Amino acid sequence: MVAALRAAGAIPFVMTATTEFATGSPFNPRYGAVANPWDATRWTGGSSTGSGAALAARLLPLALGTDTGGSIRVPSCWCGTTGLKPSRERVSRAGVAPLSWTLDHVGPMARSAADIAASFPVMTALFDAGLSAECEGLRHGPADVAGLRIGVPCGWFTDQVSSDVLSNWRSALTVFETLGCQLVPMPQIDVEPLHKAGWTILLSELATYHEERIDRAALFDVGLVHRLRQGMEIRASDYGRALQMRLQAQETVMAAMAGMDLMITPGLGGEAGRLDTLTVDVDGRNVPFQDIISRNTMLFDLTGFPALMLPSGLGQHGLPTGIQIVGRPMDDGLCLRAGVAFQATTSHHRALPPRLEVPA
């Protein structure tokens, strides 16, 4: 992917931080925690920590990330930037150290959906004339979303979510209505077993990849070691059943989206989590990171459907919140079109962390 960008004229100039092997704790034992530019006591979200922070701090216009349970979309949400987890295998994973070869995705992170649209066609593993034409159109004219049917989910995607995140999500849906979209209530999806299957796959494959190094566990991040131990305790039969659930997950989401063009969910359930407690504030309840971070994102790693995270406003603590635009397989361009249209009408993606604002 880097080679393709370089060939198109991009200038790679920095390697940013990540949690260890994309699954360690926020406190990397060698480099420390990546603080959120909006509030240094808060985390960026992971695992693509440095990419999210660098974009929010306006150090660069485009960054790369990997996404296995949400690692592009989580820092995009908490840092107030925009990130696309592409359709499964649409972008090459060549050269990427695997976390979970069944779930891993590589994708772009930027300040806006328009910036992603300008660069995404050269990132794909195979040239796609249709995608290239659609993204080129987004650079030179308004993004027309009139007539799109937008699925509005309930249940799992809204249950563990703070009231301000929900309020900003509903306001975003209203914006899409004003743009000519039709909001369609979705049937409730039983996400919990699918979410658990995704984690079973991730932990099993993580342990398989690192098993030969487990005798050097003392050198690893403690968060990574914890997940390695979890993965090594999973039975082969449970891993096999989790893999079998991928088709069920794809069929379930496709059925729920029948007659709809896109689904729009809330992003993460709360504003950026606190580094001192490793918790997220959900209407006064301190909820552990693990219960929030991948809750609304893992399903789309399991299914491989494209998902775009973008800012939806600020929460009660003045930190970014997000929405997630989900499409059917290979509808990455449609997700970007909806994102560009939304950001042409709103200014959430242009908001700056307080310390970057120029005094009047």
Q: What is residue 163's predicted lDDT score, i.e. its pLDDT?
A: 98
- The model carries a pTM of 0.97
116 to 19, 185, 337: CA distances (angstroms):
23, 29, 11
pLDDT per residue as tens digits for the range 84-115: 999 999 999 999 999 999 999 999 999 999 99
pLDDT per residue as tens digits for the range 312-352: 999 999 999 999 999 999 999 999 999 999 999 999 999 99
Q: What is residue 243's predicted lDDT score, i.e. its pLDDT?
A: 98
How confident is the model over 36-40, as a mean pLDDT?
Answer: 98
